[in-house]
Copies of this chain bind each other. A is one copy, B any other.
Amino acid sequence: MPRSIRVEQMLDAAVGVFSAAGYHAASMDDIAERAGISKPMVYAYLGTKEELFIACVHREGTRLMEAIVAATALQVPPDEQLWRGLRAFFTFVGDHRDGWAVLYRQARGQERFAAELAEMRARMVEVVAGLLARVIAAGGRRPRPAELTPMAYALVGAGESLADWVVDHPSEPPETTATRLMNFVWLGAGELLRGATWRPPVTPE
């Protein structure tokens, strides 16, 4: 069996065990057994439990970003591009519940992985900022970089938080969740595309 396939099998097993048992309770014995590989072999391929967990975080985060980038590569109207990106995100969350649990719940709950998670999140913000830039450009406006990054932060946070809500509503299709978020942010972004700017009120304090 090629090395790369064996590694993928080990990562699949590890993501499943970390997601079900939690980082602390997960054992290398369980991961090896689930992967159908000896424990020394798991150590040889992927290192300690900590290194294995980081490899899981990287793989799941990369898969998620690839899915979003692939979904938004089409030349479609800007709102559809954004919706396709959101749908890819919620589809990933729904189809890879274990992977999402490892990324969002397990990794976030471990102080020692803060740096890895911050780096992964920074990459995600870049991916989303790039998507927003294309969406804005497709709408005929010039994206302003100083506004893109905080907007991407807001959208990533909104998506993460709504994915948390989806965990308690597993029967909702990803399309519906993506449309919920579009109703909140797109009609907003849509006004922005038309050049609207919201100004703070002048009501005296």
A-to-B contact residues, CB < 8 Å:
22-24, 76-77, 79-80, 83, 105, 108-111, 114, 147, 149-151, 153-162, 164-165, 175, 177-192, 196-201, 203
Contact = CB atoms under 8 A, between A and B. Distances in A.
Nearest to A109: B111
22 contacts: A109-B110, A109-B111, A109-B114, A150-B162, A151-B180, A151-B184, A153-B165, A154-B158, A154-B161, A154-B162, A155-B184, A157-B162, A160-B161, A175-B200, A179-B200, A182-B198, A183-B198, A184-B188, A184-B192, A186-B198, A187-B190, A188-B190
A182 B151 CA distance: 11
Contacts of A83: 200-201
B153 A155 contact: no
Contact of A188 (B111, B162, B186): B186
Given A187-B198, A188-B191, A24 B111 contact: yes
A188 B151 CA distance: 13
Contacts of A175: 200
Nearest to A108: B108
B147 A180 contact: yes
Contacts of A151: 180, 184
Contact of A184 (B159, B189, B199): B189
A135 to B, nearest CB: 13
A160 B162 contact: no
Contacts of A182: 198, 200
Contacts of A114: 105, 109
Nearest to A199: B179
A171 B79 CA distance: 33
